[in-house]
């Protein structure tokens, strides 16, 4: 079963707008990661946030983590057409080294 | 580094045939993961290895699927016999195990698109 579920499933915006994607998970975690997948490609790691962190920034990306609500959000500011992709959250799975990926949000940025 | 290398990139085969997918992880990485991605089921972890040893194969669908990692630089995923429902994109990923507390970034290969007719 999947640990994370992203919301919304799909998002369409204009270039320059901000895009916010949310992830909910079920069990306690050590860290949460966000990945991007361009069409026909493998996933690419974007950012990792640890359970003791509440917010993290990387360029135009801002990630928040609320462990009390078991949720995270990914904000992409000033979006570009090149940001068009699917975005996945991934959480570590308890006492194992594996990651469990969410269902993904498909982001479409129109020029 | 060339990143994670997978071959073939595309495979079309007929039901009942044996399919072998190959993966070369990033040099120095000690964990390797096989995933399957479909529209219906999303991204599923099939099996992962740590230091060439299979750690968790609970995601392997059935006995028709098998995976090996004979050395640190090569892994195979075999399906025998293949069925149309095995059609999917299969990804291999590798990571450097830094411990769960630090978090392990996974590096994905380009995937193998498998079509079973």
pLDDT tens track for A19-49:
999 999 988 888 999 999 999 999 999 999 9
pLDDT in the model for residue A94 = 66
Q: How far apart are CA A20 and CA B38, in angstroms?
A: 24
A95: pLDDT strictly greater than 70: no
Instruction: Give first-to-last CA distance, chain A, whole Å.
Output: 37
CB spacing of A97 vs B55 below 8 angstroms? yes
Higher pLDDT, A2 or A14: A14
How many Å lie between the alpha carbon of B3 and the closest alpha carbon of chain A?
11
CB spacing of B56 vs A104 below 8 angstroms? no
Cβ neighbours of B5 in A, within 8 Å? none
pLDDT digits (tens, 9 = 90+) for A60-91: 999 999 999 999 999 999 999 999 999 999 99
Which residues of chain B are modeled with pLDDT < 50?
A: none
CB spacing of B108 vs A42 below 8 angstroms? yes
pLDDT in the model for residue A1 = 44
Whole-angstrom CA distances from A24 to A29, A89, B83, B95 are: 12, 9, 34, 24
pLDDT in the model for residue A2 = 47
Q: Does B103 touch chain A (CB under 8 A)?
A: yes
Q: How far apart are CA A54 and CA B42, in angstroms?
A: 28
Spell out the SS3 assignment of chain A. Answer: CCCCEEECCEEEEECCCCEEEEEECCCCCCEEEEEEECCCCCEEEEEEEECCCCEEEECCEEEEEECCCCEEEEEECCCCHHHCEEEEEEEECCCCCCEEECCCEEEEEEC
Place of tokens 């069990």: A27
Give me the mean pLDDT over the A49-58 stretch.
95
């Amino acid at each position: 079963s999947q640990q994370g579920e992203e919301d919304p499933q799909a998002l369409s915006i204009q270039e320059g707008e901000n895009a916010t994607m949310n992830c909910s998970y079920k069990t306690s975690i050590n860290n949460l990661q966000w990945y991007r997948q361009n069409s026909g490609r493998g996933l690419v790691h974007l950012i990792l946030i640890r359970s003791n962190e509440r917010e993290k920034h990387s360029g135009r990306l801002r990630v928040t983590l609320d462990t009390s609500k078991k949720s995270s959000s990914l904000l992409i500011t000033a979006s570009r057409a090149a940001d068009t992709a699917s975005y996945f959250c991934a959480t570590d799975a308890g006492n194992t080294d594996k990651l469990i990926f969410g269902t993904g949000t498909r982001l479409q940025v129109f020029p | 580094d060339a990143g994670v290398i997978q071959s073939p990139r595309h495979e079309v085969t007929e039901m009942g045939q044996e399919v072998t997918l190959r993966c070369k992880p990033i040099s120095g990485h000690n964990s390797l993961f096989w995933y399957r991605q479909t529209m219906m089921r999303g991204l599923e972890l099939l099996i992962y290895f740590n230091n060439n040893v299979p750690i968790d194969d609970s995601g392997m669908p059935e006995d028709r699927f098998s995976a090996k990692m004979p050395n640190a630089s090569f892994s195979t995923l075999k399906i025998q016999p293949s069925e149309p429902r095995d059609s999917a994109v299969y990804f291999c990923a590798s990571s450097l195990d830094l411990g769960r507390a630090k978090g392990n970034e996974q590096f994905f290969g380009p995937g193998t698109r498998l079509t079973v007719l």
